């Protein structure tokens, strides 16, 4: 019995290891010190377009539905990518809000955030480089 429990623990540990945590990242000059997790959701969903400190956050996302994107939205909103895309389809149709800009991969993401002061992005936690500022970690 003890062995079984141990095995399950080990297995679950492996599952966690297979899906690493995600780091929300910003430019070193970005003014996001007080940013909350809920604000991250609102920014990515196009709801929050300006912060009280005057910052216009510029969320950046990935194109082509890579695995990290799926994981990101599930961890953040509990929805899958299809639902998020449906949301955006509806929102874009009204022409009032635009979805985040899309980048091909995490390298491009790190580069874009490192260059743009108001940019917000996300990469696997172990991919974070000193070129960006990690704000919070989700999925731990």
Partner 1 sequence: MKMLQALTLQARLMWIVLGSTAIIGGGTLLLVFVISYQNKLSESEQHIRQLMDAVEYSAAIASYSSNAEIADDVIKGLMRDEAVCEVSLSSNEGLHLSRSKYNDLSVCPITLQHALLSPFSSTDFIGNLETRVDNGIIETRAVHYAGQVALGLLALLILPSLIIWFAVSRYITRPIHAYAQQLHNIVPGSSERIATVAHSSLELNRVIRDSNSLLIGIEEMLLDERAQRNEIERLKEQYKHLAHHDNLTGLPNRAMFHDRLAHMLIQAKRYQLKGALIYLDLDKFKPVNDTLGHGVGDLLLKAVALRLLDAVRESDTVARLGGDEFVVILPALHNASTDALSIAEKILHALQQPFELGAHTVQIGSSLGIACYPEHGKDEFTLSKHADLAMYRAKQNGRNNAQLFQPSMAEAAD
Closest listed residue to residue 56, CA positions, set 31, 79, 19 = 31
Binding mask 31-70 for partner 1 (x = CB under 8 A): -------x--x---xxx-----------------------
Task: Name the residue nearer to partner 1 (CB basis): 88 or 108.
Answer: 88
Please provide the DSSP assignment of 35-55 as one string.
--HHHHHHHHTT---S-TTS-
The single residue among 79, 101, 111, 125 that binds partner 1, judged by CB under 8 A, is 79
Per rule CB under 8 A, is residue 119 in the interface with partner 1? no
Per rule CB under 8 A, is residue 85 in the interface with partner 1? no
Distance CA 59, CA 97 (A): 13
């Amino acid at each position: 019995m003890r062995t079984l429990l141990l095995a399950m623990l080990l297995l679950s540990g492996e599952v966690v290891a297979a899906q690493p945590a995600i780091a929300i990242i910003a430019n070193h000059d970005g003014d996001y010190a007080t940013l909350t997790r809920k604000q991250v959701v609102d920014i990515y969903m196009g709801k929050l377009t300006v912060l009280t400190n005057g910052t216009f956050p510029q969320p950046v996302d990935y194109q082509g539905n890579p695995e990290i994107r799926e994981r990101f939205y599930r961890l953040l909103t509990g929805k899958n990518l299809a639902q998020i895309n449906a949301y955006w389809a509806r929102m874009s149709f009204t022409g009032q809000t635009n979805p985040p800009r899309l980048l091909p991969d995490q390298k491009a993401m790190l580069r874009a955030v490192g260059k743009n002061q108001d940019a917000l992005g996300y990469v696997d936690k172990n991919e974070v480089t000193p070129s960006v500022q990690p704000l919070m970690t989700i999925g731990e």
